[in-house]
C-alpha cells in the first residue's frame, strides 16, 4: 500500500516530464528541419507565390490549397513536381499541423478538398464539364448510323471519345429533365 501511494506522485512527474520532452521534440522540426523553406510559416519573404498554388488548384480542384502550398514550399515552388507527384498517385505530402498557409480564402467557385463543406460548393455538372455553351445547341441527333462504340488505336482519339460520351450523357440528362419540367408545367396550366 505504502509503495503505491509513493508511486503516484512519481508517476505524475514522469508523465509531465515525458509530455514536455515530446512537445519539445515535436516543436523542433517545425523550426529547424525544413531546410528548403526556412521561413515558410511566417516570413512573407519565403512565401509561396499564391499564383502557383492557384495554378495547381485549378488543375486539381480536389486538392487542398494548404497541401499544395506545403508541397510547393518543400520543392522550391515547382508546379511540375507537384503535378507529377499527384498524377503518379503518390499523393501530396501532408503538411504538419503547425503549417499555416496564410492564403486568402478560396474563391467560392472552386471546390476545396477540406473536410466538411456545405453542399453549395459543388459546382454543377454544366460548370464542371464546361458545357454551358452546349446546352442551348440542339441535340446532335444520333444520325441514322447509330454510333457504335469503337476502340481507337490513338490515345488522343480515345480520350476525345470518352470526353464526348461524358458530355453526351450529361447533356441528355439535362435535356430530359428540362423536357419533364415543360410537360409538368403544361399539365399544371391545363388543369
Give me the least distance between CB of 137 and another protein, in Å please: 15
Q: Considering the complex, state which of residue 28 and residue 166 has its C-beta at the smaller distance from another protein.
A: 166
Q: Up-side HSE of residue 40: CA atoms within 13 Å toward CB?
A: 28
Enclosing H/E stretch for 176: helix 155-190
Q: Considering the complex, state which of residue 144 and residue 149 has its C-beta at the smaller distance from another protein.
A: 149
Give me the least distance between CB of 188 and another protein, in Å please: 16
Q: Considering the complex, state which of residue 52 and residue 126 has its C-beta at the smaller distance from another protein.
A: 126
List contacts with another protein (CB under 8 A). Answer: 62, 87-89, 111, 115-116, 119, 122, 124-128, 135, 149-151, 155, 158-159, 161-162, 165-166, 169-170, 173-174, 176-178, 180-181
Q: Considering the complex, state which of residue 18 and residue 123 has its C-beta at the smaller distance from another protein.
A: 123
41 close to 100: Cβ distance less than 8 angstroms: yes
Helices (DSSP H) in 33-154: which residue ranges? Answer: 50-59, 65-74, 79-87, 125-128, 132-135
Beta strands in the chain (DSSP E): none
Give me the least distance between CB of 61 and another protein, in Å please: 9
- Determine the Cα–Cα distance for residues 50 and 72; give it in Å rounded to an integer: 10
* DSSP-assigned letter for residue 154: -
Q: Considering the complex, state which of residue 42 and residue 180 has its C-beta at the smaller distance from another protein.
A: 180
Nearest 5°: CA angle at 131, between 135 and 125?
105
Give me the least distance between CB of 143 and another protein, in Å please: 19
- Determine the Cα–Cα distance for residues 108 and 86; give it in Å rounded to an integer: 23
Enclosing H/E stretch for 186: helix 155-190
Give me the least distance between CB of 47 and another protein, in Å please: 29
Amino acid at each position: 500500500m505504502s509503495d503505491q501511494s509513493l508511486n503516484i506522485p512519481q508517476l505524475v512527474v514522469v508523465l509531465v516530464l515525458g509530455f514536455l520532452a515530446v512537445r519539445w521534440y515535436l516543436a523542433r522540426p517545425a523550426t529547424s528541419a525544413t531546410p528548403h523553406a526556412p521561413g515558410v510559416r511566417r516570413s512573407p519573404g519565403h512565401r509561396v507565390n499564391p499564383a502557383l498554388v492557384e495554378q495547381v488548384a485549378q488543375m486539381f480542384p480536389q486538392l487542398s490549397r494548404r497541401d499544395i502550398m506545403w508541397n510547393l514550399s518543400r520543392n522550391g515552388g515547382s508546379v511540375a513536381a507537384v503535378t507529377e507527384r499527384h498524377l503518379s498517385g503518390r499523393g501530396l505530402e501532408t503538411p504538419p499541423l503547425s503549417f499555416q498557409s496564410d492564403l486568402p480564402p478560396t474563391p467560392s467557385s472552386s471546390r476545396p478538398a477540406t473536410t466538411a463543406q456545405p453542399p453549395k460548393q459543388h459546382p454543377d455538372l454544366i460548370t464542371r464539364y464546361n458545357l454551358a455553351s452546349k446546352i442551348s445547341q440542339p441535340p446532335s441527333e444520333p444520325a441514322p448510323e447509330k454510333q457504335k462504340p469503337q476502340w481507337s488505336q490513338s490515345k488522343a482519339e480515345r480520350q476525345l471519345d470518352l470526353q464526348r460520351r461524358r458530355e453526351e450523357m450529361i447533356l441528355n440528362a439535362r435535356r430530359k429533365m428540362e423536357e419533364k419540367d415543360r410537360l409538368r408545367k403544361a399539365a399544371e396550366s391545363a388543369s
